[in-house]
Amino acid sequence: MAIKGADFWGVYEKADLVETVFNNVNLLAYKSSKKSVSSLLEDAAQKAPAKIALVCQEQKLSYSELLEKVIVMASNLKEKYQLLPGERVAVLMGNRLEFVVSIFAISYLGAVACALNARLAPREITYMLKDSGSRILISEDAWVNKLKAYLPETDVQTVINIMDTGGNLIELDGKIVDFFTLFNRKIPRANRYMVDPDLPAMLLYTSGTTGKPKGVILTHFNIINSVISYAKVLH
């Protein structure tokens, strides 16, 4: 929120800001904002391949290891499920390493990640699946079992499931595949899709306080400019 006459940003935070145009509006943004989300990971893996990127309980991934997982998963999504640029892929799970890998893999192909709130009720999730038009859902056991009765109402054709309970799943007419089958390294490696930074990267839903939840598009430009801003402020 802007306060007239007040400036809370120092010289460091303002460095690298340039005038640009977004949605036909002139504004200030960081020079590096005109990239894609997955290209940021590539840059980090090139600059500091051995540096730890993710820690999740006992699991650790360096930037180079994370990038490798992302490329392999993206390659499998493209080869096995013909995931195309601009398509929406729903991601529904708690805070875990696989969430990060999935978001970057979807971005790598120029598709749009529809990140769903794991605290919502099944009926609310069903509405968002229908509204987003996602034909692929990446999720985990607990949620897949809860959604079993609702999925026929959606466009979801494939459920990519993280099997935390040893495969103790309710059958979904052959729609379910194991998440870890997406890490077959024999699949031809996909190239990163050169997406326009002004195109959608993520689809998030509002809380729906005054009506049905509404989908909010975040472009690559939106996300990257925010990430750079946070990094500078928290430096």
Interval 116-138: pLDDT, tens: 999 999 999 999 999 999 999 99
Comparing 75-79, 169-173, 181-185, 197-201, the range with the smallest average pLDDT is: 169-173
First to last CA, the chain: 21
Answer for the pair 74, 103: CB distance below 8 angstroms, yes or no: no
User: For 15-43, what is the mean pLDDT?
Assistant: 75
Q: Phi and psi (nearest 5°) for 25?
A: -120, 130
Answer for the pair 37, 192: CB distance below 8 angstroms, yes or no: no
The CA distance from 103 to 100, in Å, is: 5
Report the DSSP beta bridge partners of residue 18.
Answer: 29
Give the pLDDT band (50/70/90) at residue 86: very high
Q: What is the pLDDT of residues 192-234, one digit of tens each?
A: 999 888 899 999 999 878 889 999 999 998 898 888 777 777 7
Residue ranges and CATH numbers for the domains of the chain are 11-233 (3.40.50.980)
> Which residues, in sequence order, are CB contacts of 69 under 8 Å at separation 6+?
61, 101, 105, 183
pLDDT of residue 193: 93
Q: Which two tokens stand for residue 207?
A: 């809380």
Percent of the chain with pLDDT over 70: 83
Mean pLDDT of the chain: 87
pLDDT of residue 20: 74
Give the pLDDT band (50/70/90) at residue 171: low
Q: Which two tokens stand for residue 189?
A: 């490696």
The three-class DSSP label of residue 90 is strand
Report the DSSP beta bridge partners of residue 91.
Answer: 115, 138
Q: Which two tokens stand for residue 100?
A: 């990060």
Name the pairing type of β-strands 88-91 and 136-140. Answer: parallel
pTM: 0.87
> Which residues, in sequence order, are CB contacts of 35 under 8 Å at separation 6+?
43, 197, 220, 224
Q: Phi and psi (nearest 5°) for 62?
A: -80, 170
